[in-house]
Amino acid sequence: MTRRDPLRDIEELFERMDRELEKLGTGLDAPSDSSVAVDVIEDDEAVTVLADLPGFDGDEISVELRDETLTVGATPSGEGGEGDIDVDADADADDVRYHRRERRRGAASRRVPIPVAVEPDAASAEYDAGVLTVTLPKRSAADEDGHRIDVN
């Protein structure tokens, strides 16, 4: 009688799940909550968030900071929806067959918690070559002591 190894069974299950997810266009190593890959970098003066948004125009991107969470979103403009492509004018859509289609053209978003207090009024964002860079200056020590509110 052969004894079963439960750890090997679990490993085979994970491998099978990974293969199935790859067929759907996502893997276990993909960000679990979104289609936007981000890096969050902190130095002495600011928190910088880099977000990959290839294929979008700057006016299709929105950035919002609320309740210590940065929300980055991008929605393609135009008539096409998710997965739509422009086919060459000489070719009919019926003439095109995909053997593999991983590049998507749809809305993308990501919510990123910010690890420290930042100054929202001094925030800036730049978009270049498919990468959005959001710079969030840290709140100064003087601001952390509180803000005086005058009473009339």
Amino acid sitting at position 36? V
Q: Which CATH architecture is the domain 32-144 placed in?
A: Sandwich (2.60)
* Selected residue with higher pLDDT from 38 and 78: 38
Q: Are 138 and 145 in contact (CB under 8 A)?
A: no
Q: Give the pLDDT confidence score for residue 88 in this predicted structure.
A: 42
State the pLDDT confidence band at 24, using cuts at 50, 70 and 90: low
Q: Tell the residue number behind the tokens 């270049």, with chain if given.
A: 128
Strand 46-52, strand 38-42: pairing: antiparallel
Confidence bin at 33 (pLDDT 50/70/90): very low
pLDDT tens figures, 53-63: 988 888 999 99
Q: Where are the domains of the chain?
A: 32-144
Identity of the residue numbered 140: S
Q: Span 3-19, mean pLDDT?
A: 82
